Amino acid sequence: MGVASSSAAAEIYNVGEVGDYFDLLKPRVMSLAIFTAFVGLIAAPGDMNPVLGFASLLAIAAGAGAAGALNMWYDADIDAVMARTSGRPIPSGRVPRAEALALGVGLSALSIVTLALAANYTAAALLAFAIFFYMGVYTLWLKRTTPQNIVIGGAAGALPPVIGWAAATGEVSAASVWMFLIIFLWTPPHFWALALYKSGDYDRAGIPMLPLVKGDRAARRYIFGYALVLAVASIAPFALGVFGLTYGGIALAGGLVFASLAFRVLRDGAAQAESGESGAPERSLYLAPAAKRSARDLFAFSILYLFLIHVAILADYGVGRLF
């Protein structure tokens, strides 16, 4: 009876292992990389072989997953003390750190070689740089040392549309640079909104996120400032004729909503500080309900915003070419 029970438990565990290793790849982050790379590839001029295009997207997905696995390998210690990440495969004991490292290194090499063969060396070099930057610059250095970690480190997450464009054309263009810039400017307010209502997690892990180092008030001002710059930067490609009317309308509407939600974060935080509800307005781990709600709303909308921006690019550049 005991042997049978042990065998059944082992079978259940083995079935679950596949999902555990997939979780190492940070599938949510990977899906964003796939989508933005797809937009870059479809929007690019020329006609790429569909099979090679699909192989290129798989390689970019594998590269993004490899970066995620390497990040989880190195950050296992801080993941273990954060409520948001304590259930990840390594801190929960489901996957050994050494296996995560092996998976990350192996997938990195495979993804770069595959992209070089399916597309070109330019795209492969950009993918290699993105993996290196995310792991070597952001994870190993910036994340634990500076409140500007997500500002500089965001460059890695902004590269997939450029890689997709390069896979199709073998070069980097003005349009792909604008796509990079939009994601690059989007990243700080997106993550700082999360950091506002997850300050306790980051504080326990010793990660110098902006709200902890500069204070909540400064973080809210930065969020609002970046939201304004993002709104202007997102409409600029339309004004310059890089993207068309559909993109321009969505970018304008989306930028206004983003900026208005960022203003709510600024306003509700100021109201909390004036009321003295936080007790320590310059560096508080407590957010009043209204301030927390506004930060959550901005974080949630920022994801939708990025999706809509790229759908607009597809509508302007790619839908006709798909048929």
pTM for the model: 0.89
Asked whether the predicted pLDDT for residue 147 surpasses 80, the reply is yes
For residue range 27-47, what is the model confidence (pLDDT) as tens digits?
999 999 999 999 999 999 878
Place of tokens 């896979």: 167
- The C-alpha atoms of residue 81 and residue 83 are separated, in whole angstroms, by 6
Instruction: For residue 244, give the amino acid letter.
Output: G
Burial (CB count within 10 angstroms: exposed 0-12, middle 13-18, buried 19+), residue 225: middle
For residue range 99-134, what is the model confidence (pLDDT) as tens digits?
999 999 999 999 999 999 999 999 999 999 999 999
**218 vs 93, 210, 213, 221, 277, CA distance in Å?**
38, 8, 9, 5, 17
Q: What is the DSSP letter of 136?
A: I
Counts of helices then strands in the chain (DSSP H, E): 15, 0
Q: What is the DSSP letter of 170?
A: S
- The C-alpha atoms of residue 187 and residue 239 are separated, in whole angstroms, by 23
Place of tokens 């590839």: 41
